[in-house]
C-alpha cells in the first residue's frame, strides 16, 4: 500500500520533532516500521538526515538537559546498586572490591564533571541549593531564634532559585 507524502512527512515530524521512536512514529500514522525505516534511509541518501534533524531539534528544544538529568539519575542508581553488590559479595577479594570502587568513583567523578560543563544551569541550581541548605543549618545551629522566619522565606526563595537556574 502506497502512502502519501503527507503521511511520510507526518512520520518524519513525529520522529524528529516529537522525539518518538521510529517504530512508534510509524505505528502512530498507520505505517509499517519497514516502510518508515526505508523513508528514513532514502531521506538520508537525498540529504535529509532524520537523525541529524532530530539531534538539532533536541538541542534547540533544551531536551539535552532533560536527557542528561535522567542519565545522571540512572548513573547514581547504578552506583548505589554496584556498591551494595560489592558489600554483599563474599567471593570477591577485598583488593578487587577496592579496585572496583576506585574505578566506579573515577567514572562517577568524570561523569559529574562533564555534566557540570554541559549543564551549567543545573550545576548552578545544585550549588545554589547546597548554599541554601548550608545556610538553613547554620541558622538552625547559630541563630535558632530566627529559624521560623528563615523557614517562611526559604520555600518561596527556593522557587525563585528554580526559576532562575532550573
> Could you report the per-residue pLDDT of 32-57, keeping only the tens digit for each?
999 999 999 999 998 888 888 777 66
Looking at the fold, whether 113 and 151 belong to one and the same domain comes out as no
- Domain housing 100: 63-118
What does pTM read for this prediction? 0.43
**Which of 45, 60, 75 is where one domain is finished?**
60
Using pLDDT thresholds of 50, 70 and 90, give the confidence band for residue 61. Answer: low
Question: Three-state SS for 144?
Answer: helix
Using pLDDT thresholds of 50, 70 and 90, give the confidence band for residue 88. Answer: very high
Q: What pLDDT does residue 119 have?
A: 66
Residues in the chain: 166
Looking at the fold, whether 68 and 90 belong to one and the same domain comes out as yes
pLDDT average, residue stretch 21-25: 93
Using pLDDT thresholds of 50, 70 and 90, give the confidence band for residue 112. Answer: confident
Using pLDDT thresholds of 50, 70 and 90, give the confidence band for residue 157. Answer: confident
Amino acid at each position: 500500500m502506497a502512502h502519501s507524502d503527507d503521511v511520510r512527512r507526518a512520520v518524519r515530524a513525529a520522529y524528529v520533532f516529537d522525539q518518538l521512536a521510529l517504530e512508534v512514529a510509524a505505528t502512530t500514522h498507520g505505517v509499517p516500521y519497514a516502510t518508515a525505516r526505508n523513508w528514513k534511509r532514502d531521506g538520508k541518501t537525498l540529504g535529509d538526515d532524520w537523525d541529524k534533524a532530530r539531534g538539532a531539534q533536541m538541542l534547540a528544544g533544551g531536551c539535552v538537559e532533560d536527557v542528561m538529568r535522567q542519565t545522571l539519575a540512572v548513573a547514581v542508581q547504578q552506583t548505589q546498586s554496584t556498591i551494595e553488590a560489592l558489600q554483599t559479595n563474599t567471593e570477591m577479594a577485598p583488593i578487587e572490591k577496592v579496585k572496583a570502587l576506585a574505578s566506579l568513583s573515577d567514572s562517577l567523578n568524570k561523569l559529574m564533571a562533564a555534566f557540570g560543563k554541559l549543564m551549567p544551569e543545573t550545576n548552578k541550581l545544585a550549588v545554589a541549593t547546597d548554599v541554601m541548605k548550608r545556610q538553613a543549618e547554620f541558622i538552625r545551629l547559630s541563630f535558632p531564634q530566627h529559624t521560623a522566619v528563615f523557614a517562611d522565606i526559604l520555600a518561596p526563595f527556593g522557587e525563585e532559585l528554580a526559576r532562575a537556574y532550573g
